[in-house]
Amino acid sequence: MEDLPRYLAIARQLEALLDSGELPPGSRLPPVRQLAAQHGVNTLTALAAYRHLEERQRVVARPRAGFFAALPGADAAGRAERPTPSVATLVDVESRMSNLIRLSESPIRQQLHMAEAHNSLYPALELSRRVQQTLARQPELIGAYLPAARQALLHQQISQLAAEWQLDIPQDRILFTGGITEAISLSLRLLTRPGDTVAVETPVYFGLLQTLQTLGLKALEIPCTPDAGLSLEALEFALRHGAPVKCLVTVTNFQNPTGALMPEDNKKRLLQLARRHGLPVIEDDVFGELYFSGAHPPPLKAWDRDGDVIYCSSFTKSFAPSFRLGWLSGGRRHADLARQRESSSLVSPALLLGVLSDMLASGDYARISQRIRQQLARQLDQLADAVLAAFPRDTHVRRPQGGMLLWVEGPEGLDSRQLLQAALTHSISFAPGLLFSAEPRFGHCLRLNFGQPWSAQLAEDIRLLGSLAQQQLQTS
Amino acid sequence: MEDLPRYLAIARQLEALLDSGELPPGSRLPPVRQLAAQHGVNTLTALAAYRHLEERQRVVARPRAGFFAALPGADAAGRAERPTPSVATLVDVESRMSNLIRLSESPIRQQLHMAEAHNSLYPALELSRRVQQTLARQPELIGAYLPAARQALLHQQISQLAAEWQLDIPQDRILFTGGITEAISLSLRLLTRPGDTVAVETPVYFGLLQTLQTLGLKALEIPCTPDAGLSLEALEFALRHGAPVKCLVTVTNFQNPTGALMPEDNKKRLLQLARRHGLPVIEDDVFGELYFSGAHPPPLKAWDRDGDVIYCSSFTKSFAPSFRLGWLSGGRRHADLARQRESSSLVSPALLLGVLSDMLASGDYARISQRIRQQLARQLDQLADAVLAAFPRDTHVRRPQGGMLLWVEGPEGLDSRQLLQAALTHSISFAPGLLFSAEPRFGHCLRLNFGQPWSAQLAEDIRLLGSLAQQQLQTS
């Protein structure tokens, strides 16, 4: 008991009073300040005790009235009070990403709508031990800045890791960022001004559409297929016809949402094309480390002799989502990006950088990312098989060779937005196709993530999703 | 030994060979790949072993040649090779902050140039234990997003903490950011377009000048005194005469660099003035929690009934520098800022948010921040006394009532840039006054931080700094 946090100790005492009926259902509980005074703790601690009991559905908070002992059956009632998100609000380009995040916060049971794997794929216990060791051994990591020698080591490690991906990244051309989102946002802010146009793939990650919108940028959508990724023919056509494009953002390895892997030849050709047209390229390689066989496919950047490519990567999907450690190598724009980063959010948390460095050194990173890859590869097959078995005829999927996203192309008549509305009533979510373009396209498609461990429940939910799709086609 | 990381075990074996002379001084050590193969580890682990020995000055890395056993006396030689930073490069507005950070990475012994307290003021061991507990108990904190219930608790805690500062911050108006730097950068990006003018204090935090420069903004510098902070008279004059100012950035509590605390009456008047002129205010309260007596002084935001103030705060100075957890409450612009944040860097590391929440609940935060305050208050007196005793006559300081910065106004003839150049040769740094304005001002001033624990060495260094200043005045 001795290391039980105070708030938990207080919560347990209250729970005993609730159990015994001394605090009967529906009764008003002591105000936070009074509870704090009774236990000689500050109000934050008292509040935490109530919040803990609220999470356990033993107490209910009523705005401006305080906390009350929960009534029997309050569990279901409490859930029902939280609104089911409306599909209509998802479509607004400016808030697409934000609205999807809200969807994650809702009590939906089977969440397949984000590009996220389940928490259980990541090594929480190993990380907790490692963080403790790292900080205990290196208390200087409490400071705001990673000490110079530690930073040199980390950059050397990243350079060496990237060398395994065929990248020649000098140690002084590595910049850590707040996830890959910040890497891409910084790059866009450097390369564009409000009103400019940026070439992107279509279908494309809705977070990128929101970012462009926020920065006042227009998207020129270049077709992208699950087979080969970005269509170079379409891009070349656009550039030849003078599309006023300031830069290109491309996910070359396991594209979001299609899962496409751009062939190496196309990568080389894209680079030549970009060079010929003076087009800077922002390469988003957040999924590259999640390859299922062989090795991390070489990014576009591997053939970039002239520093035209701003290469962006991250440890968020492949290692530790909660660390939010992205990084970029900015080619000839690196120094400008570094200065911009210092004006935007200065540095990444030194403690987390130190832990990453320790886990790269110990081999933990290699082992853990390998385990995650293997599990994702298994889950992909399970999910893809189930989808093909359950969904209407003429549903197509192309199994990606990495990543965590499955792009499902339904029959032309399918309306995946309507399907989502139906699925939400069964507490199942996915990302409907129309989120992946600023234009009204991909309405018959949906994106699922295969980051969830396979289970009887998931199998059942996919069967249900398939039969909802079948029903929709029959009644339409 | 069993939980010794592999790279350390390898490093110790190598060190034994170095000690025994089996690997003689100057000899070439096995290439990284070979060392890795010998020990059955990956190359990152082998590299980390060498880096560890390099930090201990037992081996030397030579670019493109590999690692070599260090020669006797290589320690001093290694140090001497690192260049002493040149003062000339510090002045460039665009890179001021970046250059000061470089200065931190140099081997200067007595670093007084940043607004940072010494690592020992912060609870590295307590945090390491708490991080371990938090993640072990709540493995869901490995995920990219803080679970909704945890986020609700954290926001309630922040709201309650802010209430102690006289702030009424609704729980749905709290947005975590990457340090306060991101909070201010987001606010500026929302309120301005390149080419706009922003009112700031003068002298002002050089990081803000760099941020403005990076965003293509112009600074209108409004006088600020150590006694009362921003001059409302000067601001009103500027506004009356039609200065085209898009917003104001102000540090109302323990301003950087002057340490000024704006009187409450001035805060109320400033708010009225801003409202009258339709001037949005970005309030930077990063130092407010480091008050030395009484309580956290109420920020400007405390009187903001109309949501004109974007309030920015952070736990970086007062609690855990390496966490980089800032936050803002955006008044009527909050929703726009939230959307912008999601497009800029999405979210803060969930693990660190969870630990903060646990430490707010347990009372650890209150206890730790109290201890830091007390230590800073003692160190201020020690430093200020020493400065007054050592520096030339007509040197003025005004002891701030909080924060960690002492603004020293030397006699008019003092050239603090030249003083810094002299001090650097003695391995002492500080921030010279001219960094705190885009115009050539404050050349006779310097900013010291009193975040360093008092010691005989620090006393000696301040005496030396004072006598260097005396010498300069005598020879000029």
Q: How many CB atoms are closer than 10 A to CB B241?
A: 7
Of A48, A127, A182, the CB nearest to B135: A127
Q: Where are the alpha helices (DSSP H) in A192-263?
A: 206-214, 232-240
On chain A, the residues whose CB falls within 8 A of the CB of B111 are none
Q: Do A345 and B321 touch (CB under 8 A)?
A: no
Question: How distant, in Å, are the alpha carbons of A377, B287, B371 from that of A140?
Answer: 39, 22, 19
On chain A, the residues whose CB falls within 8 A of the CB of B101 are 145, 342
* Chain A closest-CA separation from residue B126 CA (Å): 9
Spatial CA neighbour of A257 closest among A396, A437, A377 = A437
Of B54, B125, B346, the CB nearest to A181: B346
pLDDT, tens digit (0-9, with 9 covering 90-100), for A230-241: 999 999 999 999
* Chain B closest-CA separation from residue A327 CA (Å): 12
DSSP structural state of residue B204: -
Residue A176 structure tokens: 């850590």
pLDDT at A3: 59
Tell me the C-alpha distance between A324 and B351, whole Å.
10
Higher-pLDDT residue of A225, B61: A225
Starting at the edge strand found earlier in the chain, the sheet holding B229-230 runs B175-178, B325-329, B309-314, B281-284, B245-250, B197-202, B218-225, B229-230
* A325 pLDDT above the threshold of 80: yes
* A433 pLDDT above the threshold of 90: yes
A231-269 in b/e form (b: 16+ CB < 10 A) is bbebbbebbeeeeebbbbbbbbbbbbbbbbbbeeebbeb
* Chain B closest-CA separation from residue A25 CA (Å): 22
On chain B, the residues whose CB falls within 8 A of the CB of A124 are 135-136, 139-142
Q: Do B148 and A43 touch (CB under 8 A)?
A: no
Of A156, A185, A357, the CB nearest to B344: A185
Tell me the C-alpha distance between A381 and A423, whole Å.
22
A·B CB contacts under 8 A: 300
Residue to mutate among A351, A358, A359, A360, with most B CBs inside 10 A, is A351
Residue to mutate among B2, B346, B370, with most A CBs inside 10 A, is B346
Q: Are B339 and A95 in contact (CB under 8 A)?
A: yes
Q: Do B128 and A132 touch (CB under 8 A)?
A: yes
Helix, strand counts (H, E) of chain A: 16, 15
- What proportion of chain B, given as a percentage, has pLDDT over 70? 95
Residue B116 touches chain A, beta carbons under 8 Å:
yes
Q: Where are the alpha helices (DSSP H) in A30-175?
A: 32-39, 43-55, 74-81, 96-105, 124-137, 148-163
* Chain A closest-CA separation from residue B223 CA (Å): 23
pLDDT, tens digit (0-9, with 9 covering 90-100), for B184-243: 999 999 999 999 999 999 999 999 999 999 999 999 999 999 999 999 999 999 999 988
On chain A, the residues whose CB falls within 8 A of the CB of B152 are 51
pLDDT at B82: 47
Residue A48 touches chain B, beta carbons under 8 Å:
yes
pLDDT at B83: 52
pLDDT at B16: 87
pLDDT at B171: 93
Tell me the C-alpha distance between A332 and A309, whole Å.
8
Nearest CA in chain B to A103: B148
Q: Do A142 and B119 touch (CB under 8 A)?
A: yes
Residue A302 structure tokens: 């591997």
Q: How many CB atoms are closer than 10 A to CB B72?
A: 7
Domain B6-80 adopts which CATH fold?
Arc Repressor Mutant, subunit A (1.10.10)
* A84 pLDDT above the threshold of 70: no
CATH hierarchy code of domain A81-119+371-475: 3.90.1150.10
Overall average pLDDT of the A375-395 stretch = 98
Of B142, B193, B362, the CB nearest to A7: B362
Residue to mutate among A7, A142, A249, A362, with most B CBs inside 10 A, is A142
Q: Delimit the domains of chain A by residue range.
A: 6-79, 81-119+371-475, 124-366
Residue to mutate among A128, A333, A341, A370, with most B CBs inside 10 A, is A128
Nearest CA in chain B to A154: B48
Tell me the C-alpha distance between A372 and A121, whole Å.
6
pLDDT, tens digit (0-9, with 9 covering 90-100), for B74-98: 444 334 344 555 676 677 777 787 7
DSSP 3-state assignment of B295? coil
* Beta strands per DSSP E along B187-243: 197-202, 218-225, 229-230
Amino acid at A30: P
Residues 405-464 of B with CB under 8 A from A: none
Domain B81-121+371-475 adopts which CATH fold?
Aspartate Aminotransferase, domain 1 (3.90.1150)
Q: Which CATH architecture describes the domain A6-79? A: Orthogonal Bundle (1.10)
Amino acid at B189: R
Residues 345-374 of B with CB under 8 A from A: 345-352, 357-358, 360-363, 365-366
Question: How distant, in Å, are the alpha carbons of A288, A335, B255 from that of A284?
Answer: 9, 19, 40
Low-confidence ranges of chain B (pLDDT < 70): 1-3, 63, 72-86, 88-89
Per mean pLDDT, which range of A119-123, A230-234, A320-324, B42-46 is the poorest?
B42-46
* A78 pLDDT above the threshold of 60: no
How far apart are the two ends of chain A, measured CA to CA in Å? 61
Q: Does the bond joining A203 to the residue before it have cis omega, within 30 degrees of 0?
A: yes
* Beta strands per DSSP E along B29-86: 59-62, 66-69
Q: Do A55 and B104 touch (CB under 8 A)?
A: no
Residue A80's pLDDT band (cuts 50, 70, 90)? very low
Residue A378 structure tokens: 């298994």
Residue B392 sits at the vertex; the CA angle it makes with B389 and B398, to the nearest 5 degrees, is 65
Of B47, B122, B211, the CB nearest to A343: B211
Question: How distant, in Å, are the alpha carbons of A361, A366, B336, B416 from that of A451?
Answer: 27, 19, 31, 58
pLDDT at B76: 40
Residue B141 touches chain A, beta carbons under 8 Å:
yes
DSSP structural state of residue A330: -
Q: Do B42 and A363 touch (CB under 8 A)?
A: yes
What average pLDDT does the structure give for chain B? 91
Residue B335 touches chain A, beta carbons under 8 Å:
no
ipTM above 0.85, yes or no: no
* Chain A closest-CA separation from residue B393 CA (Å): 36
pLDDT at B73: 53
* Beta strands per DSSP E along A147-270: 175-178, 197-202, 218-225, 229-230, 245-250
Beta bridge partners of A417: none
Q: Does the bond joining B257 to the residue before it have cis omega, within 30 degrees of 0?
A: yes
Q: Do B363 and A179 touch (CB under 8 A)?
A: no
How far apart are the two ends of chain B, measured CA to CA in Å? 61
Burial class, A106, CB count within 10 angstroms (exposed 0-12 / middle 13-18 / buried 19+): middle
Tell me the C-alpha distance between B206 and A328, whole Å.
26
pLDDT at A119: 92
pTM for this one?
A: 0.85
Q: Do A361 and B152 touch (CB under 8 A)?
A: no
Amino acid at B133: Q
Of B43, B144, B148, the CB nearest to A321: B144
Q: Do A124 and B145 touch (CB under 8 A)?
A: no
pLDDT, tens digit (0-9, with 9 covering 90-100), for A26-46: 888 998 888 999 898 888 888
On chain B, the residues whose CB falls within 8 A of the CB of A215 are 343
DSSP 3-state assignment of B313? strand
Domain B124-366 adopts which CATH fold?
Aspartate Aminotransferase; domain 2 (3.40.640)
Of A119, A145, A360, the CB nearest to B104: A145
DSSP structural state of residue B284: E
- What proportion of chain A, given as a percentage, has pLDDT over 90? 74
- Neighbouring residues of B369: CB distance < 8 A, sequence distance ≥ 6: B289, B318, B319
Of B44, B131, B214, the CB nearest to A360: B44
Of A207, A320, A363, the CB nearest to B6: A363
Q: Do A339 and B94 touch (CB under 8 A)?
A: yes
Q: Do A98 and B215 touch (CB under 8 A)?
A: no
DSSP 3-state assignment of A177? strand
* A253 pLDDT above the threshold of 70: yes
On chain A, the residues whose CB falls within 8 A of the CB of B43 are 160
Residue B27 touches chain A, beta carbons under 8 Å:
no
Residue A244 touches chain B, beta carbons under 8 Å:
no
* Chain A closest-CA separation from residue B162 CA (Å): 11
Give the containing element (helix H, strand E) for A370.
Answer: helix A364-390
Q: Do B148 and A316 touch (CB under 8 A)?
A: no
Tell me the C-alpha distance between B257 and A214, whole Å.
33
On chain B, the residues whose CB falls within 8 A of the CB of A123 are 142
Residue A85's pLDDT band (cuts 50, 70, 90)? low
